[in-house]
Amino acid sequence: MKTNTFVKFTLACVVGALAVCGNANANPEGAPLKDIVATAVAAGNFKTLATALTEADLVSTLQGSGPFTVFAPTDEAFAKIPAMQLKALLADKAKLAAVLKYHVVAGKVLAADVVKLPSAKTVEGSSITVSTKGGVKVDDSNVTATDIMASNGVIHVVDSVLMPKM
C-alpha cells in the first residue's frame, strides 16, 4: 500500500512540477542550473516569495552555495493570508525573515527522502512536521510539486505559507 501511494505521489508531483514550472527547470545540453532564487523567479508563480525574500534581505543567502531545500509557497499560497496580515508581515523584517527561514532546510533533501522523515529542522531553528497521510504534507501544507533542481539545492512547492510558532 505504501509503495502504491508513493508511486502515485511521485507521478502526481512530476506532472505538477511540469504544470507549475513549465520549462523553468530545463537544463538544455550542459547549460548550468540556476540558483534557487533564479529558478523560482523563472517559474513565474513565486512573485510574492521573491518580494518577501527581497524585503527580508535573504536573496543573497539563497543564491549562496547551499545546498538548501526550500518548501516554496506559490503566489496562490500567499493569497490565502488575509491582505492586512500579509502587509504587516512584509513590513516586519524580523518576523518575515523567521517565516521565510522556516521554509528552508539545510542540505539537499529530495522527495524520496522527505517522505521518509517525520520532521526536519529548518534554518529558522524549529522543525517542520512531515506527513504522508492523504498526500505529502509539511505542517498543514500540501506538497504539490517536488524535486525542482537548482544549482544550490532543490525546491518543493507547497500550497500554503508555513508559519513557525512565534
Give the pLDDT score at 16.
39
Give the pLDDT score at 10.
35
Across 1-10, 87-96, 133-142, least confident range: 1-10
Pairing of strands 141-150, 119-121: unpaired
Task: Cell numbers for 4, please give them.
Answer: 502504491
Q: What is the pTM of this model?
A: 0.80
For each of the domains in the chain, give its residue range(s) and CATH number, in order of start.
2-23+33-158 (2.30.180.10)
154 has pLDDT over 60? yes
Residue 6 pLDDT class (50, 70, 90 cuts): very low
Report phi then psi at 138, rounded to 5: -120, 115
Q: Average of pLDDT values for 128-141?
A: 92
Instruction: Give pLDDT tens digits for 8-34.
Output: 333 333 333 333 343 344 454 456 789
